[in-house]
Amino acid sequence: MELRGALQVARSDAVRRSEDIKLKKIDAADGRSCAASPADWSCGWIVFRDENGDGAYTVNSEDELLQTFPAPSNTSVRFTSNATYLTVNRWGAINGVGASFVISPQSPLGSTSGLEMAVCVSSGGRIRWITGSSCS
C-alpha cells in the first residue's frame, strides 16, 4: 500500500540526509475533504523536507517536496495519534515513539466495513501490518 511506501521513503531520506523528514496528510483530494479531522488521512499524504528549518508542518516555497502519495479510493485511513503530520528523525525513528494507522474499506454508504487493518510502526521504524484496529 502507498502508506507503507511513504513511510519507507520518509525513513530512508531522513537517514540518508541525516535530518528530519516530515509526512503530512493532504486535506482535500478527488472531491473529498479530510480537513475536518486531524486523524483523517483518507485524502493521501506528502513527504517533504523542511528546507528552511521553520518547523512548520506545511509545505512552503522554501521546502522540498519529496513525494506525493494518493490514498486508495473507497478506503478510510486514520492516524491513531490524531495528528496531521509525523516526523522521521535522522536515525529513522518516527515521532520518537512510533505511530499507527487504521485502514478499512468503506461501504457504498460511507461507513467502514469492519475489515480493518492496522499499520504499526515501531519507534525504530519497523513497519508491520496486523488484522484489527489496534497495534497493542
Burial 99-132 (b: 16+ CB within 10 A, else e): bbbbbbeeeeeeebeeebbbbbbeeebeeeeeee
Per-residue confidence (pLDDT) for residue 114, from 0 to 100: 64
93 in a domain, yes or no? yes
Read off the pTM.
Answer: 0.83
Q: Specify whether the CB–CB gap between 19 and 38 falls below 8 A.
A: no
Per-residue confidence (pLDDT) for residue 69, from 0 to 100: 92
Q: Which residue bears the cell 488521512? A: 41
Q: How many domains does the chain have?
A: 1
49-99 pLDDT per residue, tens: 988 777 666 777 888 999 999 888 888 899 988 888 888 988 888 876 778
Residue 40's domain comprises: 2-131
136 in a domain, yes or no? no
Residue 122 is part of a domain; what is its CATH number? Answer: 3.55.40.10
7-33 pLDDT per residue, tens: 999 999 999 999 999 999 999 887 788
Summarize the confidence of residues 35-55 as an average pLDDT.
86
Q: Specify whether the CB–CB gap between 101 and 41 falls below 8 A.
A: yes
